[in-house]
Amino acid sequence: MKYSNFFLPTVKDAPSDAEIISHQLMIRAGMIKQSSAGIYSWLPLGLIVLKKIEQIVREEQNNAGAIELLMPTIQSSDLWIKSGRYDDYGKEMLRITDRSGREMLYGPTNEELITDIFKSHINSYKDLPKNLYHIQWKFRDEVRPRFGVMRGREFLMKDNYSFDIDENSAKNSYDNMFKAYIKTFIRMGLTPISLRAETGPIGGSLSHEFQILAKTGESTLYYDKKLETLNMNTIDPNELQSFYAAVDDQHDEKNCPISKDNLKISKGIEVGHIFYFGTKYSEKLNALVQDKKGKNIPVHMGSYGIGISRLVGALIEAYHDEKGIKWPLEVAPFKLSIINLMPEDQDCDTKSMEYYEYFMKNNIEVILDDRNCSIGKKLSDNELIGIPFQIIIGKRDLKDGLVEFKNRQTNIVEKIPIDNLINFINTILTK
């Protein structure tokens, strides 16, 4: 992509109501634009990242055997009245009356609808276990939307639902998703910490939330320091679930079961939540399956959510410095940026285009900054949008047969002979 053909409107100052760093940086880097309170348009750069995160989540769901479908955003109130949640949900649910006077709502979650789909088509233990997911926009009418996409009203979420014949099997499904979640967050370059959680309005008896570590995170986490490395190595759900981990208001220093030496305190951001709630919805919505003895019993269910749009903000909270974003390679909007400092110079232009065309041909995601603007703005914009690897092409360096290479993670700049550059990039990209 050439910058001049793209639509990447960086902004000098963040609006004053952008309280947290990810919100500020997303506005400044031209990733989002607010359209109403808590509702955003995803500009091209933001959308690329959103889609990369969505795709990682999708692939790990598929790897775990979950099947993708897609439920609509607008639902009828009928099923919610049956489940008892139409009143429970209160004002956070966006309620709508259609032209015929029917009560509708913008789905904040989908336990009711998926249970209805399940029961229309599955009625035997032979078709279990089943795990169905979708990735769809949700709406929660927050009283005070803030923090940009971290607590927006319209947000993108992956939610899935497991169906099992009994509690034992349901715990397997739960652990299977637990494992998929750890893998998902690690693939994005994040460090997840899993914590036993309250079940809240979803209901049920077993629940974990997943936080990712970020210095500017909203929660304070207290956990066994082994969790950080165990995550990366043995993803055994039962083992991970056995370690101590608590958020602020759960942690009691005096009664902490682990020693001070093993306890680590970090800031975190919640990005996922999983629930086992047994037969709560299947009983109310009459989702029965025949067991081996021919008896109709309510199916055991769990639900599992990952905040996809929230993760864009969470990743920035985890990876930034005072100059801007530092994308991990796996979710970066482009892996490479070629910064032509002097587009009006023939040599700079030729060399930039030569590299650009090579990387394009080899399907390496690259953006060519070919704008006519000051060198200072060009360098600071590229720091701001945080492309991991940056090739800086200037007139003086070129005369010496060199280009600059900047690693945005370390901010180290080195000079590379022009003929070595492509080999050099290919090597770091395959590391």
- To the nearest 10°, report the CA torsion of 270, 272, 275, 280: 100
Q: Pick the stretch among 113-121, 211-219, 328-336, 353-361 that binds a copy of itself (CB under 8 A).
A: 113-121
Identified binder of a copy of itself from the candidate list 6, 244, 358, 424, rule CB under 8 A: 6
User: Is residue 21 within 8 Å of residue 325, measured between CB atoms?
Assistant: no
Least distance (Å) from a copy of itself to the CB of residue 130? 6
Q: Is 137 a binder of a copy of itself (CB under 8 A)? A: yes
Instruction: Give ∠ CA 424-428-431 in degrees, rounded to 5.
Output: 140
Q: Nearest 5°: phi and psi at 344?
A: -85, -10
Q: N- to C-terminal Cα distance for the chain?
A: 24
Least distance (Å) from a copy of itself to the CB of residue 378? 16
Q: Pick the stretch among 61-69, 260-268, 272-280, 295-303 that binds a copy of itself (CB under 8 A).
A: 61-69
Q: Is 67 a binder of a copy of itself (CB under 8 A)? A: yes
User: Is residue 185 within 8 Å of residue 192, measured between CB atoms?
Assistant: yes
Query: Is 122 or 379 the residue whose CB approaches a copy of itself more closely?
Result: 122
Least distance (Å) from a copy of itself to the CB of residue 176? 13
Q: Is 415 a binder of a copy of itself (CB under 8 A)? A: no
Length of the chain: 431
Q: In a 3-state reduction of DSSP, which class is residue 65? A: coil
Q: Is 99 a binder of a copy of itself (CB under 8 A)? A: yes
Query: Is 155 or 181 the residue whose CB approaches a copy of itself more closely?
Result: 155
User: Is residue 394 within 8 Å of residue 400, measured between CB atoms?
Assistant: no
Least distance (Å) from a copy of itself to the CB of residue 4? 8
Which of 111, 132, 108 shows the shortest CA–CA distance to 285? Answer: 111
Q: Pick the stretch among 101-109, 190-198, 291-299, 398-406 that binds a copy of itself (CB under 8 A).
A: 101-109
Instruction: Count other C-beta atoms under 10 Å from residue 220's C-beta.
Output: 14
Q: Pick the stretch among 92-100, 180-188, 194-202, 334-342 that binds a copy of itself (CB under 8 A).
A: 92-100
Residue 292, judged by CB atoms within 10 A of its CB (0-12, 13-18, 19+), counts as: exposed
Which of 217, 207, 186 shows the shortest CA–CA distance to 60? Answer: 186
d(CA 261, CA 246): 16
- The CA distances from residue 373 to 31, 226, 361, in Å, are 20, 49, 27
Q: Is 68 a binder of a copy of itself (CB under 8 A)? A: yes
Q: Is 292 a binder of a copy of itself (CB under 8 A)? A: no
Q: Is 226 a binder of a copy of itself (CB under 8 A)? A: no
Q: Pick the stretch among 116-124, 201-209, 253-261, 411-419 that binds a copy of itself (CB under 8 A).
A: 116-124
Residue 406 pairs with which residues in a beta bridge? 390, 413
Q: Is 143 a binder of a copy of itself (CB under 8 A)? A: yes
Identified binder of a copy of itself from the candidate list 44, 189, 204, 394, rule CB under 8 A: 44
Q: Is 320 a binder of a copy of itself (CB under 8 A)? A: no
Q: Pick the stretch among 2-10, 175-183, 298-306, 328-336 that binds a copy of itself (CB under 8 A).
A: 2-10
Least distance (Å) from a copy of itself to the CB of residue 149? 11
d(CA 143, CA 415): 52
Identified binder of a copy of itself from the candidate list 17, 55, 69, 401, rule CB under 8 A: 69
DSSP per-residue codes, 134-165: EEEEEE---SS-BTGGGB-SEEEEEEEEEEES
d(CA 319, CA 325): 6
- Using CB under 8 A as the criterion, which residues of the chain lie in contact with a copy of itself when the complex forms? 5-7, 9, 30, 33, 35-37, 39-44, 47, 50, 65, 67-76, 91-92, 94, 96, 98-100, 102, 104, 106, 113, 116-117, 120-122, 130, 132, 137, 139, 141, 143, 153-154
